[in-house]
A and B are shown apart, each in its own frame.
Chain A
Amino acid sequence: MSGRTIKVDLLARVEGEGQLYVRVKDGAVADVRLKIVEPPRFFEALLRGRDFREAPDITARICGICPVAYQMSAVHAMEDALGVTVGGSLRALRRLLYCGEWIESHALHVYLLHAPDFLGYPDALRMAKDHPAIVQRGLRLKKAGNAIMRLLGGREIHPINVKVGGFFRTPSRAELAPLADQLEQALDDARETVRWTASLPMPALDLPCTFVALRHPDEYPFNEGHIVSSGGLDIAAREFDRHVHEEHVPYTHALHSTLDGAGPYLVGPLARYNLNGDRLAPAARQAAAGAGLGAVCRNPFQSIVVRAVEILQACGEARQIVASYEPPDRPAVDVPVRPGLGYAATEAPRGLLYHRYEIDGSGAILDAKIVPPTSQNQKSIEDDLRRFVTAHLDLPEQELQWRCEQIVRNYDPCLSCSTHVLRLEVDRP
């Protein structure tokens, strides 16, 4: 056998449409391509000429799973351009909204998309037949996240209450209070999720990789912090463009990103955990230790455990914000209009999400740049696949394809976001 091809034409259990293509020639991997076939959507271009206040609602449409991340990066970048700082209760409410999105997005991935791989089911439906109580727990968690999104955002998908400077309307204490009971249950479910994911049969893998995430002086990062890497990078969001380079690759609709001096890098739960493990709340840190996670986790399969730890972190944080909430005097701070350049990076469930805007004196957007987590991860995912296929060329075709798909799902890629990717093709002529 001189060569063979693995092709997956429609990757399942990822958000959006993508393909995987691996070509093996003379016993070696000749080519690995993660092809994101979601149509390009040109958000950066269609933002030009729009008012700066529209950016959070327009960019939220990039993703139905993580709209809050787009809203948060957009408002922070605009506030950076306009010299506005949002603090106190408004800042806490933004964190609460982000907690809701993390809980909802991570619960979806852990229970419905990722877990079936570990338990040998083709999908969550088959898994639910044998393990109804487990899936029930996942849906309960997802519902808790949705409840936060609905209460603060006005609705679960594409929330409509976020604006530059704060919110259109902020809840009263009484309106927020019912979340407290739901979050108590969610905390129990989250602790159980960490224990359960840690008990799953876990393939061993140690991925040499540069991790990139936000880091904040005393918080597990959501909205604020420096961009740091496991290679010693430590920059402000406004320096991102000088260190991260995007390039167009012909076979995919998503731009590839590389980091100065490091090449491919990884953002997302593993990166956050590895760079901010010391910023986890004590309960989440204990749960992580109990689950056997070390200070550094470089096994992408274990990302399911890290996501569970992050669900616990977000539930704890959300409960604390709800308990100590004092309604702000006004739902938003005043925002002066002036020309400027603004930069922000926040932590979407899938990792660092960078926005940059230039606006003119009337508040019109002159230029926009958006770098989503999945496009940043593309090259690292391909590297992981290349190493895996190289080491497992002897596997039967179907098994190899199945394992390749699992590798892609380890990264929870959001292909729709990244085009702003998956079919598997393995080519062994």
Chain B
Amino acid sequence: MTGAAAMVIGVGNPLRGDDGVGAAVVRRLRTRVWPGVAVRELDGDGTALMEQWSGAAAVVVVDAMVSGAAPGTIARFDAVREPLPAGAFHLSTHALGLSDAIELARAMEALPPSLIVYGVEGEGFDAGAPLSAAVAAAVPVVAERIAREIAAAV
């Protein structure tokens, strides 16, 4: 559905350890009901991001990152102002990763007016593994920060 004023998108594969942080955060946010706010999970092709956010004025994306910081570290990026830091977000061998998808949208002038990316530093990405303790502890914190951000946007 398009037409939502604001949107939260959790990116990543919940079956790959800390890559599931995006899904964990949006599932936590789902329990709240905000008019005009859509909450989505996205696992797979980065080009689908553009389809997802089309029409939304304010978009928050949350994904796992690997930047060398301590596991569970939360980082916030304004993706409209500047590209995500190189190499921090998952690189897909099948299609576009998050950074590439955002840059493709920027090149085609298809970025939403506001696009905030929350990255949570992952520790492990093994198939079938649960979230690591550090990342699990970050989930409610990120969810709360996004909730405040969204409340201010709508």
Q: Which residues of A contact B (CB under 8 A)?
A: 14-17, 64-65, 108, 112, 123-125, 128-129, 132, 135-136, 139, 142-143, 146, 156-157, 415-416
Contacts and interface: CB of A to CB of B under 8 A. Distances in A.
A142 B47 contact: yes
Given A128-B108, A157-B45, A416-B94, 11 more contacts: A15-B95, A16-B93, A16-B94, A65-B94, A65-B95, A125-B100, A128-B104, A132-B109, A146-B51, A156-B44, A157-B44
Interface in B28-66: 43-45, 47-48, 50-51
A128 B107 CA distance: 6
A-B pairs with lowest CB-CB distance, top 7:
A128-B107, A132-B108, A129-B107, A157-B44, A125-B103, A15-B94, A64-B94
Contacts of A146: 48, 51
Contact of B108 (A65, A136, A156): A136
Nearest to A113: B95
B147 interface: no
25 contacts: A14-B93, A15-B95, A16-B93, A64-B44, A64-B45, A108-B47, A108-B95, A112-B47, A112-B95, A112-B96, A125-B103, A125-B107, A128-B104, A128-B107, A129-B107, A132-B107, A132-B108, A132-B109, A135-B104, A135-B107, A135-B108, A139-B50, A146-B51, A415-B93, A416-B93
A109 B118 CA distance: 30
Contacts of B104: 124-125, 128, 135
A136 B45 CA distance: 16
Contacts of B103: 125
Contacts of A124: 96, 104
Taking chain A's interface residues, is the majority helix, strand, or loop, or is none over half, making it mixed? helix
Nearest to B105: A128
Place the interface of chain B in its size category.
10 to 19
A142 B48 CA distance: 10
Contacts of A17: 93
Nearest to A10: B93
A16 B109 CA distance: 29
Most B-side CB within 10 Å, residue of A129, A139, A143: A139
Nearest to A138: B47
Nearest to A111: B47
A207 B46 CA distance: 35
Contacts of A136: 108
B48 A156 contact: yes
Contacts of B51: 143, 146
A128 B102 CA distance: 12
Interface in B6-33: none
Contacts of B96: 112, 124
A112 B50 CA distance: 15
Contacts of A132: 107-109
A405 to B, nearest CB: 14
B54 to A, nearest CB: 10
Contacts of A64: 44-45, 94
B16 to A, nearest CB: 13
Given A416-B93, A416-B94, A157 B43 contact: yes
Interface in B81-137: 93-96, 100, 103-104, 107-109
A124 B51 CA distance: 18
B40 to A, nearest CB: 13
A63 to B, nearest CB: 9
Contacts of B94: 15-16, 64-65, 416
Nearest to A108: B95
A79 to B, nearest CB: 29
Most B-side CB within 10 Å, residue of A125, A143, A156: A125
Contacts of A142: 47
Nearest to B101: A125
Nearest to A12: B93
Contacts of B100: 123, 125
Nearest to B99: A125
B11 to A, nearest CB: 14
B14 to A, nearest CB: 14
A146 to B, nearest CB: 7
A125 B50 CA distance: 14
Contacts of B109: 132
A416 B48 CA distance: 21
